[in-house]
């Protein structure tokens, strides 16, 4: 495999997740502790790393060690700053991040919006703990190294089960299967097959701008609210009364919202809460005529969880 010239060093940042998970028996692939192992331990379990790397030096660093369901602003801030730090270091050609699958799509989007780095950032995860009879982490990590070293790689990507997903499109689509991620109707960015990357789409180059993240925490409070049958206006009012700064409505279908919520959302907006409207549909985005301007909210083409991050960042700046 050809290693791009720009590479002297590849950095792997550990944040925990199932890829670093450990159970008390090898048969247990659900009752484990995520983030139990260090990123160095995870790397040690992967055969043939040096053969993939060639002369490239691998630097590992533990940024966090958590179950990604518990992802917090402190870790996001630390991670973004470490990505920027290493990307500015001479000779560093790519950054790998080990991460839990549960909120991987959110961290990927956050980094894609805030890092502003030129090198690829490749997120890697696993659905079975490292202690499992047949863990998927080692193969995923090998694949992620191959993607990181591919001269065509750019932007923030996620590698799992032989598929490469762009931060913009990746979503966790299954709670248990090894091939847990989907890029929906866009399809995967690339496949990794026997140490080769087969590109399907040109890489998504978005790495955002290196925005200031030193804003005092807590970051602006933004919630996702899913419009559904029997919606109750009280849920919107309660969040506004509690001090929410932004609401992303995961609307039904093509951006429609339960009539019980419309007035409550208007009240929210009148009190300074920013409202964005996405769709709870898994595929596609809200399609409105150009002339359609919602009086109390703004339509977004992002899925709700990614819209939540973008709204939070826009309120922050």
Give the residue numbers marked as catalytic.
18
How many CB atoms neighbour CB 239 within 10 A?
Answer: 18
Q: How many residues bind ligand ASP (CB under 6 A)?
A: 11
Dig out the tokens for 304 from the structure.
């709700």
| Residues in Cβ contact with 206 at an 8 Å cutoff, skipping those fewer than 6 apart | 112, 113, 155, 156, 167, 168
Q: Is 67 in the site for ligand ASP (CB under 6 A)?
A: yes
Q: Which long-range contacts (CB under 8 A, 24 or more apart) does 209-212 make?
A: 209/114, 209/116, 210/84, 210/114, 210/115, 210/116, 210/117, 211/113, 211/114, 211/116, 211/313, 211/317, 212/317
In the bound complex, which residue of the shown chain has the CB atom lying closest to ligand ASP?
100
Q: Does 120 bind ligand ASP (CB under 6 A)?
A: no
| Separation CA 12–CA 22 (nearest Å) | 20
* Residue 113 in tokens: 């919006």
When the beta carbons of 34 and 122 are compared against ligand ASP, the nearer one is: 34
Stretch that binds ligand ASP, among 53-61, 76-84, 97-105, 136-144 (CB under 6 A): 97-105
Neighbours of 57 (CB within 10 A): 12
Q: Near ligand ASP by CB under 6 A, which window of 95-103, 142-150, 162-170, 201-209? A: 95-103
Binding residue (CB under 6 A) for ligand ASP from 34, 145, 248, 313: 34
Among the listed residues 69, 50, 59, the one whose alpha carbon sits nearest the alpha carbon of residue 96:
59
Residue 102 interacts with ligand ASP (CB under 6 A)? yes
Report the residue from 24, 27, 50, 69 that binds ligand ASP according to the rule CB under 6 A: 69
Segment contacting ligand ASP (CB under 6 A): 56-64, 94-102, 182-190, 211-219? 94-102
Our finding on whether 125 is near ligand ASP (CB under 6 A) is yes
Stretch that binds ligand ASP, among 47-55, 62-70, 253-261, 285-293 (CB under 6 A): 62-70
Residues 6+ apart with CB under 8 A from 57: 8, 9, 10
Choose between 22 and 256: whose C-beta lies nearer to ligand ASP. 22
Under the binding rule (CB under 6 A), the answer on residue 300 touching ligand ASP is: no
The residue ranges that bind ligand ASP (CB under 6 A) are 17-18, 34, 67-69, 100-102, 125, 127
């Amino acid at each position: 495999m050809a290693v791009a010239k720009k590479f002297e060093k590849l950095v792997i940042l550990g944040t925990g997740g199932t890829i670093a998970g450990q159970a008390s028996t090898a048969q247990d692939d659900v009752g484990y502790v995520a983030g139990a192992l260090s990123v160095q331990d995870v790397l040690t379990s992967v055969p043939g790393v040096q053969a993939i790397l060639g002369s490239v030096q691998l630097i590992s660093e533990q940024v966090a060690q958590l179950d990604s369901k518990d992802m917090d602003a402190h870790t996001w801030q630390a991670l973004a700053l470490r990505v920027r730090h290493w990307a500015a270091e001479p000779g560093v050609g790519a950054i790998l991040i080990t991460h839990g699958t549960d909120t991987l799509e959110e961290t990927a989007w956050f980094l894609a919006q805030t890092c502003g780095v030129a090198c690829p950032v490749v997120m890697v995860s696993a659905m079975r703990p490292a202690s499992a009879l047949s863990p998927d982490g080692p193969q995923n990590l090998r694949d992620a190294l191959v993607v990181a070293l591919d001269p065509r790689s750019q932007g923030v990507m996620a590698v799992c089960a032989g598929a490469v997903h762009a931060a913009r499109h990746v979503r966790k689509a299954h709670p248990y299967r090894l091939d847990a991620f989907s890029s929906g109707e866009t399809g995967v960015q690339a496949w990794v097959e026997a140490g080769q990357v087969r590109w399907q789409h040109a890489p998504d180059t978005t790495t955002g701008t290196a925005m200031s993240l030193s804003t005092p925490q807590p970051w602006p409070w933004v919630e996702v609210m899913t419009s559904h049958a029997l919606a109750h206006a009280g849920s919107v009012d309660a969040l506004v009364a509690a001090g929410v700064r932004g609401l992303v409505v995961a609307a039904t279908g093509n951006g429609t919202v339960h009539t019980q919520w419309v007035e409550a959302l208007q009240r929210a907006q009148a009190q300074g809460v920013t409202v964005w409207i996405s769709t709870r549909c898994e595929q596609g985005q809200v399609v409105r005529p150009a002339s359609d301007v919602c009086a109390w909210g703004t339509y977004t083409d992002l899925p709700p969880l990614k819209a939540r991050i973008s709204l939070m960042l826009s309120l922050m700046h």
